[in-house]
């Protein structure tokens, strides 16, 4: 995982509520290996026609949004099934943060475990962000736990362990591996005390 400290980017606005994981990545792509990247399947059925042409009206196909690394959505983003592939598709496409008033619980936790920062902001702040100029740069500062754009700065909450992992670019296993000396010492002491 890539460490996350400060992200400055334009945003992709998708204000609809209840965008579920099947819309984010259709079930027919779940058998594809992650090593090839899941980005091409992100919102596939909305991005492309049944014959494979780009849907020019869909937000990800509009040139002004192609380089954005922050996704802004409506409430309950990532609801539905627990597929981790939905997070992989967003991450592999290039997104590093998703901002919404609320998330599906499993999706939210999958984001934290896979290097994608989910940011819950009040609906009023998300509405202001969605109404902002499409070329406005938004700043997500994980250390300060703030989102800034224009004259607005809004704080957000994050679990301290998840924050540590994101800042250091490690998942739970990577974190455990950084503690191997302590684990070995614990096992040694446990063995000595068990005799």
Q: Where are the alpha helices (DSSP H) in 27-143?
A: 44-47, 85-93, 105-113, 123-131
Task: Give the pLDDT score at 187.
Answer: 86
Task: Give the pLDDT score at 113.
Answer: 94
The percentage of residues in the chain with a pLDDT greater than 90, rounded to a whole number, is: 77
C-beta separation of 7 from 139 below 8 A: yes
Task: Give the pLDDT score at 39.
Answer: 94
Residue 65 above 90 pLDDT?
Answer: yes
Residue 179 above 80 pLDDT?
Answer: no
**For the segment 73-84, what is each residue's pLDDT rounded down to a tens digit?**
999 999 998 889
Q: In the chain, what are the domains? A: 6-193 (3.20.19.10)
Angstrom distance (rounded) from CA 80 to CA 97: 20
Neighbours of 14 (CB within 10 A): 21
Nearest to residue 140, comparing CAs of 124, 155, 158?
155
**For the segment 10-34, what is each residue's pLDDT rounded down to a tens digit?**
999 999 999 999 999 999 998 877 7
Task: Give the pLDDT score at 171.
Answer: 83
pTM: 0.89
**For the segment 108-125, what is each residue's pLDDT rounded down to a tens digit?**
999 999 999 999 999 999
Residue 143 above 90 pLDDT?
Answer: yes
Average confidence (pLDDT) over 144-169: 96
Residue 191 above 80 pLDDT?
Answer: yes
Q: Answer with the residue of higher pLDDT: 178 or 103.
A: 103
Half-sphere exposure of 87 (CA within 13 A, CB side): 23
């Amino acid at each position: 995982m890539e460490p996350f400290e400060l992200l400055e980017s334009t945003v992709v606005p998708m204000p609809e509520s209840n965008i579920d994981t099947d819309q984010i990545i259709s079930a027919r792509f779940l058998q594809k290996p992650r090593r090839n990247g899941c980005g091409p399947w992100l919102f596939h059925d909305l991005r492309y026609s049944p014959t494979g042409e780009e849907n020019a009206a869909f937000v990800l196909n509009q040139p002004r949004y192609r380089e954005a690394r922050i996704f802004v959505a409506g409430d309950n983003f990532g609801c539905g099934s627990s597929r981790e592939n939905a997070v992989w598709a967003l991450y592999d496409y290039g997104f590093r943060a998703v901002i919404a008033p609320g998330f599906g619980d499993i999706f939210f936790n999958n984001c934290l475990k896979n290097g994608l920062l989910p940011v819950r902001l009040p609906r009023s702040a998300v509405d202001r962000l969605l109404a902002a100029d499409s070329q406005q740069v938004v700043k997500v500062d994980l250390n300060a736990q703030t989102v800034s754009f224009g004259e607005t700065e809004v704080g957000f909450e994050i679990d301290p362990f998840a924050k540590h992992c994101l800042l250091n670019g490690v998942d739970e296993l990577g974190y455990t591996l950084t503690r191997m000396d302590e684990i070995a010492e614990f096992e040694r002491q446990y063995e000595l005390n068990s005799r």
